[in-house]
Chain A
Amino acid sequence: MEEWNSQLRRGVLELCILALIETEPRYGYDIVTRLGEAPQLAAGEGTIYPLLRRLKKDRWVDTFWQESAAGPPRQYYRLSDAGQTVLTSRRSEWQQLVAAVNGLVGGGNADHA
């Protein structure tokens, strides 16, 4: 159960990160704060930064450094073409999964087509 939970959370976390940077590049701290707004994800900095690194290695995201007025330069993450493909397919998989699970679990207002 614990293993399943952590695998599921990782996958969801990846999806959330890709979705967050779909329309505009964001820097690490910005991503961390936004994910922190959903405490159910239980995504701490210690998980998110290494994950961002891997997304970069897999070339799902591109990065660039930009000076910040307030402090040291920030590393921005931008969705790559490969990342966009992954996001599009995972998003639809996720929506189908949620719909199917809601139907089975009985989310109250599960709407069957």
Chain B
Amino acid sequence: MPTMLEQNPIVARYLSQFRAGLKRLPEAERSEVVDEINSHIAEAVAAGGSLAEVLERLGPADRLARAYAAEALLGLGQPTLGRWLKAAGVLAGFSLSSLFIIPVLGTFGVIVPIAAVWGVLANVLQFFYPAGHFGGTYISGAGPAATLVLGLAADVILFAVGIGAFRLLKAYMRLLIKTMRNVWS
């Protein structure tokens, strides 16, 4: 009978509230914590306690979840010398590389795609109005049609390079944030 206890609506509700309160824990850890409380309820009821009593002793589900969060913070917050040095090191390392990486990737990631889009426009205009000065691709000796095709191909490549740079920038920023977070956990 105790095996089926988690199907009891009162227990199910308690556990789901508890789980919801643990939202800041990683999923694997959260499941384990919920499983342990589920196991506790089953043990205490099997030992002869009434379900109401057992749940009352555990306290409200959200308060229990907060107690876990508070304990996790206690373990995390100890600002040891090693941790400070590590954080400072990470910050220094990232600042130095960021000084170079962010402007370069930022330039490529933003300006290059815009230039590519403008290039497409310029090449098309140039094809239809050969007299205008649109800043489209110029290839010496090539006719208007060949210039258009080659120019558009170059624009596509340029655009791809720019988007790639933008993606790299995004990945770099994500890495930076994640590393700083890891130092403190």
Contacts and interface: CB of A to CB of B under 8 A. Distances in A.
Contacts of A68: 39, 43
Interface string B38-75: 11101110110000000001110001100110111011
Given A54-B74, A70-B2, A49 B35 contact: no
Contact of B57 (A28, A44, A71): A44
B63 A50 contact: no
A71 B70 contact: no
Chain A interface size, under 10 / 10 to 19 / 20 to 34 / 35 or more: 20 to 34
A112 interface: no
Contacts, number: 78
A49 B59 contact: no
B38 to A, nearest CB: 6
A45 B40 contact: yes
A71 B72 CA distance: 28
A54 B42 contact: no
Interface residues of B, number: 29
Interface in A20-79: 27-29, 32-33, 44-47, 49-51, 53-54, 57-58, 68, 70-75
Contacts of B27: none
B75 A72 contact: no
Most chain B beta-carbon contacts within 10 A, residue among A28, A45, A73? A45
Contact of A71 (B2, B36, B58): B2
A49 B40 contact: yes
Interface string B8-45: 00000000000000000000000011011111101110
B42 A72 contact: yes
Given A49-B36, A72-B3, A75-B39, 9 more contacts: A27-B39, A33-B47, A44-B59, A47-B67, A50-B67, A72-B38, A73-B35, A73-B39, A74-B39
Interface of B: 2-3, 5-6, 32-33, 35-40, 42-44, 46-47, 57-59, 63-64, 67-68, 70-72, 74-75
6 contacts: A27-B43, A28-B39, A46-B67, A50-B68, A72-B38, A75-B36
